[in-house]
Chains A and B, each alone.
Chain A
Amino acid sequence: MIKLENVERTYGIGSNAVHALTGVNLQIDQGEYLSIMGSSGSGKSTLMNIIGCLDRPTAGDYYFEGHEVGKLHDDARAQLRGKVFGFVFQSYNLLPRLTALEQVELPLMYQKIPNRKRRAAEALIQVGLKSRLHHHPNELSGGEQQRVAIARSLVVNPRIVVADEPTGALDTRTGTEVMELLSSLVEKESITVTIVTHEQLIADYTKRIIRMSDGKIIEDSHRITSEIVDRS
């Protein structure tokens, strides 16, 4: 589904240039559950931005479903994001003035999808917020806010959900709840879920762990085999 070939991302020019990604090759298949790990500055967030079409590679190719999307202009990428991608951020990134229901309606509004209210309510019920539809972010706990964000990412029936440190602002218990919710998406909806984290505990939920350092992938391990090994 996703294929990165020799992707580079450089910020700035000349001697001040920062090479955030230096030749990344990566393939992600439909329904995969993976995490991208690395210390800060390793390039993991940059990689996530490129996978999520929030950013463009400076060099190299990005194929989504066989189409080169790395060189699309801003609006085309916005459209692609709205249709195919769901985003979950560490700081939730909800709009303070909107109710939970309206937050979730937002992507539908930009996609001009009808029955916004019903679809948004369904997505919120799916993440267990049936009783919080009309609450504003400041009336919701951190875990609830993150679940609103997850509902917002799910409402467009995305092919892939990209989560950047989704539990970073949560305590362990609610963090666990959020991770279980994300894990269930892969199992029930066969949505591809990519989680960026620096916590091994979080990465342990996923079936594939990609480790990054200095803008390169230094390890790409499929844990299915390792789990089998563990059980035996």
Chain B
Amino acid sequence: MWLTNSSVGRKMVMGITGLFLVLFVTFHVLMNAVALFSPEGYNAVCEFLGANWYAILGTLVLAAGFVIHIIYSFWLTLQNRRARGNDAYEVSKRPATVEWASQNMLVLGIIVVCFLIVHFVQFWAKMQLPELLGEHLEFTGMGYVYSAFGQVWTLPVYIIGFIALWFHMTHGFWSAFQSIGANNDVWLSRWKATAKVWATVVCLLFAVEAIWFTIEAQDKSNMDKYGINTEAVVENAVSDAIEAMGITITDVE
């Protein structure tokens, strides 16, 4: 199969799944934006998606996109390292036109995935997962947002995630078009410019949302409104995060 056997085919898979994820990220940031203007609207969006068949189908397609993109990235990197050989250059300089991000896509991707794990523990594991298991949901959509951003560490972690995502997308966006052959001398600079603008708008909007939620979460009345016990939340979130990292804490008596 040429999608797995040929270098051009493999790069096309990487590009198509990458573009799909760019689309998803765009939808995600727009949905979050609803919460900036109307918390009730955001709750409605959460309820609308929930664990309905279309949301589950969407999640599965999305998960497949992520899994293929990640598996291919490691696979391609391994192949490329083998092709490079074991002898490294003593002196190696990056030409001025080569983007730093383009040579560090795997590292940036890993940072994004680490951020995703935290993000999943904070939201998906509490919103769609319990619903799938038929459990009762603790809060409404906004409740989860405030309970997550009520933590001091949430904002810095998210900002790191957004920065990594920005670098990853500035290269990934135009690179995808190059890989699927939709590029030439004129469009190269156009795609590059679009990639920069797109990634900046998306990541900036994400950051604005995260900062806004953090500010809002400081407001005790917001917390009360969604029935969040501030102290219990801190404890739960920390232990959840620790668990997510695969660390088991046993009480030492």
The answer to whether A and B come from one shared complex is no
